[in-house]
Amino acid sequence: MFSLPLRDDALLRPLEPWNAPEFAEHLERAREHIRPWVGSAFASDPAEVILERYAQRVAADSGRLLGIWLDGVLVGGVMFVAFDVGSGVCEVGCWVEPAAEGRGLVTPACRVLVEWAVRVRGMHRVEWRCRADNARSAAVAARLGMVLEGVLRGAWLFEGARYDEQLWAVLATDLEDH
């Protein structure tokens, strides 16, 4: 099975439909914590539906979902929310349950996705979108070398309220010197 060590006690590996029971347990621990910050379908759909949706995206080469395991327990993950080979543009996202916050897992996992997208798949632009009041998410984008390109006013809808959304990005040319 494919897995990539993030460090001695943490692994990054694909989340697939057969992971549904473990993913469902993880979502029970994470759901209320991540609901304000992730897409509504990701926060509300059953584990099986989410994993099947991403399996279809993998098959269509339009998205991927990878889990982060810490000491053998699924605690979060990273994904290509969008992956458009034709335009050379993709979007990376992430989530973690409360016990995994501040453990140094998300940035290296996202870095794997950014590097793979650019260096292996030839993507030109990797985007990151987050609610403007999500300081932790914005900090990850900055650590990845992304540039805050703008704020989409009122673009993030959550429980009937509108929030501003930040758009961050890194270009392949930005990574050439690294």
Closest CA to 156 of 147, 166, 148, 165: 165
Range of the domain at 90: 4-175
- Overall average pLDDT of the 44-54 stretch: 95
Provide the CATH number for the domain around residue 33. 3.40.630.30
Contact 1, 19 (CB under 8 A): no
pLDDT tens, position by position, 111-125: 999 999 999 999 999
Reported confidence tier of residue 11, pLDDT bands at 50, 70, 90: very high
| Model confidence pLDDT, tens digit, residues 62-71 | 999 999 999 9
Give percent of the chain with pLDDT exceeding 90. 94
In contact, 65 and 47? CB cutoff 8 Å? no
> Using CA atoms, how far apart are residues 100 and 174, in angstroms rounded to an integer?
30
Q: Are 126 and 118 in contact (CB under 8 A)?
A: yes
Contact indicator for 150, 167 with CB cutoff of 8 Å: yes
- For residue 103, the model assigns a pLDDT of 94
CB 178 within 8 Å of CB 145: yes
Question: Based on the structure, what is the number of domains in the chain?
Answer: 1
Other CB atoms within 10 A of residue 1 CB: 5
Q: What is the pLDDT of residue 1?
A: 59
- Spatial separation of the C-alpha atoms in residues 155 and 29, rounded to whole Å: 27
Q: Is 7 helix (H, G, I), strand (E, B) or coil?
A: strand
Residue 171, burial from CB neighbour count under 10 angstroms (0-12, 13-18, 19+): middle
